């Protein structure tokens, strides 16, 4: 399942983040790439322990845990601390797959990468290129969302970032370990939860709501890993 989650940040918040990121100490993006990914990666990145990265990361994580759509779709167990990158001057990241497990810097914590996420900090008309292209069973969509929006997709997907030939593409990227490992099961639970929420709004006293809710939680109980 590929999901568009809009407006994690307001326009005013995006502007403040942009100003801070444009003055940041950017490093070679290969610092977090695996062996194969490093050969395809040409971009800039903030160090994982950069104070600005930590500051924005904390706010972003708060927004995620407060976002009903994200919680329903991802069913998060762990979230790898968000990282930040910049593509400019022909910056590109060829087709690659994300590492199955990520080690949190200076920690024993490991995160299995079930879902990948990108939060955009620039609007599409501010730069040329930079599309996130994702290969999966649903096709090969080309993603370039508005500033403040997020895309969520399975980490099993091959994906790439097209060369940025004008302007700069600023974004955050990170991974989620879900309570439900398999994408098809998460998708089914997300669709069922959406149906329950719609029915609750339209016909709040419908007797099927109790049965549907029971089915949802029994499926979750069967598939969850903690």
Q: Which residues are annotated as a binding site for Fe cation?
A: 96, 98, 159
What radius of gyration do the chain's Cα atoms show? 18
Which string of DSSP letters, residue by residue, matches 10-54? Answer: -HHHHHHHHHHHHTS--EEGGGG--HHHHHHEE-EE--TT-HHHH
Q: How does strand 3-5 pair with strand 158-161?
A: unpaired
CB 88 within 8 A of CB 168: yes
Strand partners, 161: 93, 132
The annotation places the binding site at: 96, 98, 159, 169
Strand partners, 169: 87
CB 90 within 8 A of CB 165: yes
d(CA 74, CA 204): 25
Q: Is 153 strand, coil or helix?
A: strand
The annotation places the binding site for 2-oxoglutarate at: 169
């Amino acid at each position: 399942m590929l999901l568009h989650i809009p407006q994690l940040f307001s326009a005013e918040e995006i502007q403040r983040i942009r100003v801070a990121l444009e003055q940041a100490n950017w490093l070679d993006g290969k610092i977090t790439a695996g062996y194969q990914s490093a050969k395809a990666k040409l971009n800039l990145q903030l160090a994982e322990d950069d104070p600005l990265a930590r500051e924005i990361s904390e706010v972003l994580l708060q927004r995620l845990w407060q976002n009903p759509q994200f919680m329903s779709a991802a069913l998060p167990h762990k979230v790898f601390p968000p990282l930040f990158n910049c593509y400019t001057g022909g910056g590109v990241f060829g087709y690659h797959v994300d590492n199955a497990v990520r080690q949190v810097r200076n920690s024993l914590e490991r995160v299995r990468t079930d879902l990948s996420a990108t939060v955009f900090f620039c609007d599409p008309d501010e730069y040329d290129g930079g599309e996130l292209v994702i290969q999966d069973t649903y096709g090969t969509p080309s993603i370039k969302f508005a500033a403040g929006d997020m895309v969520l997709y399975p980490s099993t997907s091959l994906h790439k970032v097209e060369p940025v030939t004008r302007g700069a593409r600023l974004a955050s990227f990170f991974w989620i370990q879900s309570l439900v490992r398999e994408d098809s099961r998460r998708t089914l639970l997300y669709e069922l939860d959406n149906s329950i929420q719609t029915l609750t709004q339209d016909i709040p006293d419908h007797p099927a709501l109790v049965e549907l809710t029971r089915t949802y939680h029994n499926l979750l109980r069967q598939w969850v890993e903690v």
